[in-house]
């Protein structure tokens, strides 16, 4: 009925999702107007709009940071996390817009403000990156055909490695030829040692598959029929490992963007608070 | 392994993501132990199982998910037979994230603390609070004070510095250490508006924002800001600016009676015919007829395009008129307005004749001394100028002649050089008179200036009246000496450098507006050519220019210029969006005479040291 | 702390030897041949440990309609009344609340949760199970004015003085010697009626472990239970079906008299399922109840269990839907025959998934008594075949995996799940730091049914629990009372979906708690309890940041499930 599906395609086809996007955009627009209009009015009446936009920024950033706090108290019946995520994304986009409104340009001057802006941009960009990753990566993981918990990947890899080595040894024992075992040590053992081609999986390319095909094709001609059976089993193991590696890459990506996003938030908040103090000491 | 087998309750136990540690072997991609690190972060997998003592035997208690009980069983002393070296559990990604966060927070706090204190002795640097470069205008003048030049809060250190957050700052005082204005510095437009008590008092930084970069124009302010006080609110010139005043810019009556219409239509044309033997005049007249710049000097034009001096313009035709009329000082048998003034009476007083006789007698005896007394009385210094060039010999000779009722015949040698004549004048009267040598004759001018000052400000009321009368007569347009009154309008005075109230001699431009400016030069550069003037200054052929000047009771509101008033449409045909600038600051200035005071000078000197 | 035993916590700790003697003398028990009971489970042991003596005042509610109960009752003295439909308003029934945590109690979990796995507080153990077994009187509810026109003059007044109740609701009398509640206790279905006491009454409450044992070893009780079913339960169950609900009493009795009761599949289906799991045969080897193409001779009403409706498609059978309690099969074909349009053979097949109790109403009974007053039936089942195959794929898979049993299966959309484990963390923080599910499980496309208790309609895990630690709360979730659980593992082994896990418990500082006799660690069975004591419902659903996790009932949420499996 639907044919080949991709994550992006699913998102676009889902009408509910469109409604949610529309509501989100409206909320952002309304909130922006709620800040921009008083600020514009303040500017037109001999006031300083940066006070309004500045405190709005601080409020928005504290609200965004509160997301992490909410996740730490899941036992209380606060609003469901998925709406907090929605609010967080809307708030993040709003923060960018209000930031540009606040500094009236794209990049500020002044050493301190540039540090603050750099951290803020880093946070925003990592957040946008995370949003993209969270939308695109899960279906890629599902499409590997298996599911594995991230913390159990070392177990799986160790198991596959053991099985592969056992196969190689057994092949030698049963067929009395060491060809496969030697080749395994030379070429394939490295593959089973740890997740490989991680960067390639993140990019979405097929390097591992090609590499394996090459490796297996190379040795096939030197094996007799019995050994070929073992080779087939080895190929099955390698394919399973390939799926596990894809999961490792994808899930690592899904976790590691937060290693940039969350620490930056702490620094941004600290610097922003200090900025507020400085402004009150020096500005009119 | 079949997938379903993997999920069996005895093969797969709960995953605990809230444990912040990972088995060290897993990190190295080895086989992790089934126990995992304990809650404290120590390795939990030294032994495969914890054997139990059942009756007399020790039993292996390795769970199913780790392979079930082992074949060998525990050692006789109860220790598990399978042991491995302890691993080094590593923090999980989440814990790592928490650590990085705290670290970054600590670094940020440390950097802030280290660099923020402006007078820190460890790292004295204002980089941590540097909000951007100063404009070029200020960057050179803050000297050693640096931030304190402008920021009151910067004068404190430590906790007091932080406490500034809660204090009100008067940063204006710092600005006013160098900047001055022609009026109250803290008021809008540097003026007080008594009927606008509720005006907001803007601070300097309201409009002038620093730290925006070296090239930033501090003086530029957005047009919308003006609407905050001005009751008539509009965004900029092209949308909503009120119409110009009714007779703009010709509200102020001219100080020199010059009828453009008459000249352009009649006089310039006929002048050429009159002066056949003066080609310069003819040429001038011809040019003046069509080209405003024949008279008006545009090279130095600012707000006004002032006419050139008399000699270059009016003098072509009017020079003879001046020399033709003389100032009679004294007639042989009667007072003139001039002498009446000197005596302190009027020329039609009852005892005028006796006074004349007495004066002639005094002249015959003392010469110039006869006129010394009034000058002492008046306490005027310029008085001497009034009789400059007049010698006692001439006076005595003439007086003696008149005493004898003879006509005085001047000697052939020239006293004409000084301008004073004694003898028979054009009306066949014996008189001592002064013939002006040309425009701006100093003696004649001295007469006008002194008389005007007396009329305006002498403490003796009688003398003032006399002086007023005399001034009127002097400035009479048809009979006044030197024909000054023909062009120079009576009744307008100004104060000269010595404080005397003198007639207003020069060209008088439009109303002085402190906050509005106009520059002819860019407009003329753009429009080019002599025809450019007519773009805005349109002659009104039907104007009654002369009426105002001929009415002795005239009021300034009656004045009607030769030109059509300039209307707003003339300007906003170009000063509008998509064409040229149309912001308020193009024509209007906010401050009155911004300047610098002593403080600025000191700073400048300090910089030069 | 020693390992608990089955009869460590007797059902009625206050029962005295005199009481026991009195019980043994009662005709219902004295008639039993006590020698047929094994020595490990003697009759008097059953009476002493699995029975409880309950005193009732007038107005006390003994069992409430809709409750899941684990006990049967024997009226020893006094009179009780059964409320036949319509049931009493639920406010009157005083549905007791699950004792949820307060705000501070919920928040305190932040600092009270132990970082050691499966830590237990050993200082406050051994409290008796505190569930809502209090007999609330009809007079206790705020809304008793709804049913009593004239308020009673005193609490002790008998209900004879308040006729309003009997006028508004249909009731039947239960005298001394009546046994009731046994079907619900044994069939794991909710109570079908409310029973309250009309006068002062004394009851014997027998929990189902004891009842099962008595029924197993005594012929007389077995017959009573079965006949009791036909007399009391059958009509009630017939009334579950919409087409019979409108019938008047006599007609319904006539229908009931001729209704046949049939049972298919095995009561212990979970064991067979486990052995055959992994082989999704599409129902090819399930017991057939009715075959496609045959002419049916009666309407099949499902009274318990699940049945698969399927149709031949090519080389296999296509599952169209599944039926459960309250559903019927064969109506379209029989109705069509009756209207004379066409005599239709069955368009679809019906097979038993696990076990099914079926009531067969013969066709001539229908023709005579039911169809004349029946409205045109709704869309026939065969219409479901018009759906595209891919839309059914998830349902087909769910039926094969028996996930249809669950009322709260944890369905995770793997295309939305970012594998963040926030759900597991939330579950842990609401359970003392210990998660109660594992985020893995069988997947179909992008839908995963995780290993979290599905709170099944047919909770097979409850079969065989020796202490009754695993029970169904009034609100529906199946929960395990951690204190009375002895860690035998029966429930964990019974669960066909591997959703119950045994854990070794430790004390608050992480040291394992060992049984003093055998020095082996004490085990407890644990599973998802739907956060029934927490504020706000299941924490996992609330914690997922991408709305990937839902607790679903496959048939009710078929639309949702179809949306997930794009």
Looking at the complex, report in whole angstroms how far the Cα of residue B12 sits from the nearest Cα belonging to chain C: 8
Q: Annotate chain A with three-state secondary structure.
A: CCCCCCHHHHHHHCHHHHHHHHHHHHHHHHHHHHHHHHHHHHHHCCCCHHHHHHHHHHHHHHHHHHHHHHHHCCCCCCCCHHHHHHHHHHHHHHHHHHHHHHHCCCCCCCHHHHHHHHHHHHHHHHHHHHHHHHHHHHHHHHCCCCCCCHHHHHHHHHHHHHHHHHHHHHHHHHHCCCHHHHHHHHHHHHHHHCCCCHHHHHHCCCHHHHHHHHHHHHHHCCCCHHHHHHHHHHHHHHHHHHHHHHHHHHHHHHHHHHHHHHHHHHHHHHHHHHHHHHHHHHCC
Residue carrying the six token digits 């499902």 = C302
The residue count of chain B comes to: 609
Q: What would the two tokens of residue C303 be?
A: 């009274």
The better pLDDT of the pair B427, A196 is held by: A196
Report CB contact under 8 Å: A147, C443: yes
Of C455, C462, C474, C484, nearest to C132 (Cα)? C474
Report CB contact under 8 Å: C419, A141: yes
C527 to chain B: closest CA residue: B14
Report CB contact under 8 Å: B165, A44: no
The better pLDDT of the pair B547, B416 is held by: B547
What mean pLDDT comes out for the span A236-260?
Answer: 95
Label residue A267 by pLDDT band (50, 70, 90). Answer: very high
Label residue A1 by pLDDT band (50, 70, 90). Answer: very low
What does the pLDDT look like over B141-169, one tens digit per residue? 776 667 777 887 777 777 777 788 888 88
Q: Which pLDDT does position B412 carry in this prediction?
A: 62
Cross-chain CB nearest to B8 (options C498, C512, C521): C498
For chains A and C, CB pairs below 8 A equal 94
Q: What would the two tokens of residue C522 be?
A: 């004490």
Task: Give contacts of A48 with chain B, Cβ < 8 Å.
Answer: 206
What does the pLDDT look like over B255-305, one tens digit per residue? 888 899 888 888 888 876 776 667 888 888 888 888 888 888 888 888 888
Please report, rounded to a whole number, the percentage of residues in chain B having pLDDT higher than 90. 7
Residue B211, chain A, CB below 8 Å: the answer is: yes
Looking at the complex, report in whole angstroms how far the Cα of residue A254 sits from the nearest Cα belonging to chain C: 7
Helix extents (H) in A73-178: 81-103, 111-142, 153-175
Q: Which pLDDT does position B608 carry in this prediction?
A: 67
* Rounded Cα gap, residues A36 and A100, in angstroms: 11
C492 to chain B: closest CA residue: B9
Task: Give contacts of A255 with chain C, Cβ < 8 Å.
Answer: 420
Report CB contact under 8 Å: B206, A158: no
Residue A193, chain B, CB below 8 Å: the answer is: yes
Q: Which pLDDT does position A241 carry in this prediction?
A: 96
Q: Which pLDDT does position C131 carry in this prediction?
A: 29
Which range has the worst mean pLDDT, B73-87, B172-186, B205-219, C60-74? C60-74
Q: Which pLDDT does position C449 carry in this prediction?
A: 94
The better pLDDT of the pair A149, C100 is held by: A149
Task: Give contacts of A265 with chain B, Cβ < 8 Å.
Answer: 101
What mean pLDDT comes out for the span B13-34?
Answer: 91
The better pLDDT of the pair B436, A32 is held by: A32
Report CB contact under 8 Å: A112, B127: yes
Task: Give contacts of C106 with chain A, Cβ < 8 Å.
Answer: 75-76
| Contact residues, chain C to chain B, C-beta under 8 Å | 115-117, 277-278, 421, 424-425, 428-429, 433-442, 451, 492, 495, 498-503, 510, 512, 514, 518-521
Which range has the worst mean pLDDT, B308-322, B407-421, B530-544? B407-421
Looking at the complex, report in whole angstroms how far the Cα of residue A277 sits from the nearest Cα belonging to chain B: 6
Residues forming a β-bridge with A103? none
Report CB contact under 8 Å: B132, A46: no
Residue C119, chain A, CB below 8 Å: the answer is: no
Q: Which pLDDT does position A258 carry in this prediction?
A: 94
Domains recognised in chain C with CATH numbers: 17-112+134-230 (2.60.120.10), 252-386 (2.60.120.10), 398-564 (3.30.70.20)
The better pLDDT of the pair B574, C231 is held by: B574
The better pLDDT of the pair B116, C36 is held by: C36
Of C288, C283, C317, nearest to C401 (Cα)? C283
Task: Give contacts of B2 with chain C, Cβ < 8 Å.
Answer: 278
What does the pLDDT look like over B174-205, one tens digit per residue? 888 888 898 888 888 888 888 878 777 788 88
Q: Which pLDDT does position C96 carry in this prediction?
A: 38
Report CB contact under 8 Å: C546, A85: yes
A146 to chain B: closest CA residue: B3
Which range has the worst mean pLDDT, A190-194, B190-194, B351-355, C97-101? C97-101
Report CB contact under 8 Å: B13, C115: no
Q: Which pLDDT does position B462 carry in this prediction?
A: 80
ipTM rounded to 2 decimals: 0.90
Residue C110, chain A, CB below 8 Å: the answer is: yes
Which range has the worst mean pLDDT, A64-68, A209-213, C552-556? C552-556
Residue C534, chain A, CB below 8 Å: the answer is: yes
* Rounded Cα gap, residues C182 and C178, in angstroms: 11
Report CB contact under 8 Å: B162, A262: no
pLDDT tens digit at each of 566 positions of chain C: 566 666 777 778 888 888 888 888 888 888 888 888 888 888 888 888 888 888 887 777 787 776 656 688 999 988 888 888 676 665 565 443 456 778 888 888 888 888 888 988 877 654 323 322 333 466 655 556 556 555 554 444 444 444 456 666 778 888 888 888 888 776 667 677 888 888 888 999 888 778 878 877 888 887 887 777 767 677 777 887 877 887 888 888 888 888 887 778 765 566 667 766 555 555 667 888 889 888 888 889 888 888 988 888 888 888 888 888 888 888 888 888 888 877 888 888 999 887 788 889 888 888 888 888 777 766 677 777 777 777 778 888 888 888 988 899 999 999 999 999 999 999 999 999 999 999 999 998 889 999 999 998 888 887 667 666 787 776 788 888 887 788 889 889 989 999 999 999 998 888 888 887 777 888 999 999 999 888 888 999 999 999 999 998 887 765 555 555 44
Report CB contact under 8 Å: B18, C433: yes
Task: Give contacts of C436 with chain B, Cβ < 8 Å.
Answer: 14
**C contact test, residue of B2, B3, B4 with most C CBs within 10 A:** B4
Report CB contact under 8 Å: A270, B109: yes
Report CB contact under 8 Å: A134, C110: no
The better pLDDT of the pair A143, C387 is held by: A143
Report CB contact under 8 Å: A281, B161: yes
Looking at the complex, report in whole angstroms how far the Cα of residue A37 sits from the nearest Cα belonging to chain C: 32
Residue B17, chain C, CB below 8 Å: the answer is: yes
Structure pTM?
Answer: 0.77
């Amino acid at each position: 009925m639907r044919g080949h599906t991709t994550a992006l395609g699913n998102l676009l086809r889902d009408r509910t999702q469109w409604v949610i996007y529309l509501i989100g955009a409206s909320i952002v627009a309304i909130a922006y107007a709620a800040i921009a209009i008083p600020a514009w009015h303040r500017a037109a009446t001999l006031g300083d709009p940066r006070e309004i936009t500045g405190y709005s920024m601080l409020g928005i950033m504290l609200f965004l940071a509160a997301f992490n706090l909410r996740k730490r108290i899941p036992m209380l019946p606060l609003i469901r996390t998925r709406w907090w995520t929605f609010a967080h994304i809307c708030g993040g986009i709003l923060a960018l817009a209000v930031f540009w409104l606040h500094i009236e340009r794209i990049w500020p001057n002044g050493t301190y403000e540039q540090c603050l802006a750099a951290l803020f941009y880093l946070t925003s960009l990592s957040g946008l990156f995370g949003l993209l990753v969270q939308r695109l990566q899960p279906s890629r993981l599902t499409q590997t055909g298996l599911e594995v918990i991230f913390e159990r990947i070392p177990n799986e890899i160790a198991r596959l490695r053991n099985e592969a080595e056992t196969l190689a040894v057994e092949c030698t024992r049963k067929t009395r030829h060491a060809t496969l075992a030697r080749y395994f040590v030379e070429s394939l053992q490295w593959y089973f040692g740890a997740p490989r081609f991680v960067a390639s999986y993140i990019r979405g390319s097929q390097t591992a598959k090609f590499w394996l095909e090459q490796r297996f094709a190379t040795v096939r001609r030197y094996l007799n029929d019995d050994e070929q059976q073992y080779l087939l089993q080895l190929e099955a193991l390698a394919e399973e490992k390939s799926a596990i590696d894809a999961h490792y890459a994808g899930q690592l990506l899904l976790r590691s963007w937060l290693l940039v996003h969350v620490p930056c938030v702490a620094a941004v908040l600290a610097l922003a608070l200090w900025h507020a103090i400085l402004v009150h000491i020096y500005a009119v | 392994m079949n997938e379903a087998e993997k999920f069996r309750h005895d093969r797969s136990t709960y995953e605990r993501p809230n444990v912040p540690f990972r088995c060290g072997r897993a990190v190295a991609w080895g086989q992790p132990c089934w126990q995992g690190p304990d809650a404290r972060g120590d390795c939990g997998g030294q032994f495969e199982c914890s054997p139990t003592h059942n009756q007399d035997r020790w039993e292996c208690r390795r769970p199913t998910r780790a392979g079930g009980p082992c074949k060998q069983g525990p050692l006789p002393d109860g220790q598990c037979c399978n042991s491995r070296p302890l691993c080094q559990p590593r923090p999980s990604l989440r814990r790592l994230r928490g650590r990085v966060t705290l670290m970054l927070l600590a670094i940020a706090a440390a950097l802030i603390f280290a660099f923020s204190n402006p007078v820190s002795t460890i790292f004295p640097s204002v980089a941590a609070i540097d909000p951007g470069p100063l404009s070029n205008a200020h960057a050179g003048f803050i000297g050693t004070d640096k931030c304190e030049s402008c920021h009151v809060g910067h004068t404190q250190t430590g906790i007091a510095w932080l406490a500034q957050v809660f204090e009100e700052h008067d940063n204006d005082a710092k600005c006013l250490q160098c900047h001055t204005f022609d009026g109250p510095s803290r008021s809008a437009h540097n003026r007080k508006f008594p009927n606008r008590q509720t005006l907001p008092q803007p601070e300097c930084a309201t409009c002038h924002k620093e730290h925006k970069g070296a090239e930033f124009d501090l003086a530029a302010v957005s047009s919308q800001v003006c609407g905050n006080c001005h009751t008539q609110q509009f965004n900029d010139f092209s949308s909503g600016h009120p119409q110009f005043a009714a007779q703009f810019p010709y509200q102020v009556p001219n100080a020199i009676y010059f009828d453009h219409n008459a000249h352009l239509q009649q006089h310039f044309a006929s002048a050429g015919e009159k002066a056949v033997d003066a080609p310069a005049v003819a040429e001038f007249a011809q040019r003046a007829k069509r080209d405003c710049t024949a008279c008006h000097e545009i090279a130095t034009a600012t707000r006004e395009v002032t006419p050139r001096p008399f000699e270059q313009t009016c003098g072509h035709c009017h020079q003879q008129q001046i020399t033709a009329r003389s100032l009679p000082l004294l007639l042989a048998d009667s007072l003139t307005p001039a002498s009446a003034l000197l005596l302190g009476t009027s020329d039609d007083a009852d005892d005028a004749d006796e006074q004349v006789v007495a004066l002639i007698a005094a002249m015959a005896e003392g010469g110039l001394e006869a006129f010394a007394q009034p000058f002492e009385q008046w306490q005027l210094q310029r008085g001497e100028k009034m009789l400059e060039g007049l010698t006692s010999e001439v006076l005595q000779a003439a007086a003696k002649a008149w005493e004898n009722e003879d006509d005085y015949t001047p000697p052939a040698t020239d006293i004409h050089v000084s301008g004073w004549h004694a003898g028979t004048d054009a009306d066949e009267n014996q008189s001592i008179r002064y013939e002006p040598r040309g425009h701006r004759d100093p003696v004649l001018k001295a007469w006008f200036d002194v008389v005007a000052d007396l009329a305006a400000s002498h403490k003796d009321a009688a003398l003032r009246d006399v002086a007023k009368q005399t001034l009127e007569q002097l400035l009479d347009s048809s009979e006044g000496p030197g024909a000054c009154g023909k062009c120079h309008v009576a009744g307008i005075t100004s104060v000269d450098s010595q404080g005397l109230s003198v007639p207003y001699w020069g060209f008088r431009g439009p109303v002085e507006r402190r906050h509005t400016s106009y520059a002819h030069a860019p407009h003329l550069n753009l429009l080019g050519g002599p025809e450019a003037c007519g773009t805005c200054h349109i002659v009104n052929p039907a104007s009654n220019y002369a009426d105002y000047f001929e009415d002795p009771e005239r009021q300034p509101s009656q004045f009607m210029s030769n030109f059509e008033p300039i209307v707003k449409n003339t300007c906003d045909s170009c000063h509008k969006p998509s064409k040229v600038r149309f912001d308020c600051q193009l024509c209007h200035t906010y401050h009155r005479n911004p300047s610098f005071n002593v403080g600025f000078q000191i700073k400048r000197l300090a910089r030069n040291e | 702390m020693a390992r608990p035993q089955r009869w460590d916590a007797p059902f009625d700790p206050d029962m005295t030897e005199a009481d026991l003697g009195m019980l043994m003398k009662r005709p219902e028990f004295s008639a039993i041949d006590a020698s047929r009971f094994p020595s490990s489970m003697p009759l008097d042991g059953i009476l002493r440990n699995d029975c409880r003596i309950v005193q009732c005042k007038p107005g006390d509610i003994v069992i409430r309609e809709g409750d899941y109960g684990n006990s049967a009752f024997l009226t020893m003295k006094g009179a009780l009344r059964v409320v036949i439909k319509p049931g009493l308003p639920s406010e009157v029934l005083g549905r007791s609340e699950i004792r949820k945590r307060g705000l501070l109690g919920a928040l305190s979990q932040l600092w009270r949760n132990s970082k050691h796995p499966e830590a237990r507080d050993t200082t406050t153990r051994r409290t008796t199970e505190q569930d809502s077994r209090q007999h609330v009187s009809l007079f206790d509810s705020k809304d008793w004015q709804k049913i009593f026109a004239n308020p009673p003059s005193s609490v002790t007044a008998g209900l004879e003085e308040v006729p309003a109740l009997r006028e508004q609701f249909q009731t039947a009398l239960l005298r001394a010697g009546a046994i009731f509640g046994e079907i619900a206790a044994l069939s794991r279905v909710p109570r079908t009626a409310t029973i309250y006491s009309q006068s002062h009454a004394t009851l014997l409450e027998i929990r189902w472990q004891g009842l099962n044992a008595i029924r197993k070893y005594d012929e007389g009780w077995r017959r009573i239970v079965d006949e009791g079913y036909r007399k009391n339960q059958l009509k009630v169950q017939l009334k579950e079906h919409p087409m019979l609900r409108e019938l008047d009493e006599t007609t319904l009795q006539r229908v009931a008299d001729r209704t046949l009761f049939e049972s298919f599949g095995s009561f212990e289906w979970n064991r067979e399922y486990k052995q055959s799991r992994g082989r999704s045969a599409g129902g090819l080897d399930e017991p057939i109840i009715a075959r496609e193409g045959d002419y049916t001779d009666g309407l099949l009403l499902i009274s318990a269990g699940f049945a698969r409706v399927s149709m031949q498609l090519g080389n296999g059978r296509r599952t169209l839907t599944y039926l459960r309690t309250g559903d019927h099969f064969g109506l379209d074909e029989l109705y069509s025959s009756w209207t004379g349009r066409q005599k239709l053979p069955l368009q679809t097949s019906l097979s038993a998934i696990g076990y099914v109790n079926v009531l067969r109403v013969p066709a001539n009974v229908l023709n005579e008594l039911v169809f004349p007053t029946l409205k045109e039936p709704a869309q026939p089942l065969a219409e479901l075949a018009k759906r595209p195959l891919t839309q059914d794929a998830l349902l087909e898979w769910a039926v094969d995996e028996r996930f249809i049993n669950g009322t709260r299966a944890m369905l995770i959309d793997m295309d939305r799940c970012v594998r963040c484990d926030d759900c597991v963390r939330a579950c842990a923080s609401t359970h003392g730091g210990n998660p109660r599910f594992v985020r893995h499980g069988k997947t179909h496309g992008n839908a995963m049914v995780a290993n979290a208790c599905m709170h099944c309609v047919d909770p097979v895990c409850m079969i065989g629990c020796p202490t009754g630690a695993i029970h169904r709360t009034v609100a529906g979730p199946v929960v395990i009372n951690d204190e009375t659980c002895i860690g035998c593992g029966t429930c964990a082994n019974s669960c066909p979906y591997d959703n119950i896990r045994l854990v070794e418990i430790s004390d608050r500082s992480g040291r394992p708690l060992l049984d003093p006799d055998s020095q082996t660690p004490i085990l407890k069975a644990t599973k998802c309890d739907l956060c029934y004591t927490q504020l706000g419902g299941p924490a996992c659903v609330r914690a997922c940041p991408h709305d990937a996790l839902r607790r679903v009932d496959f048939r009710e949420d078929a639309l949702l499930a179809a949306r997930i499996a794009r």
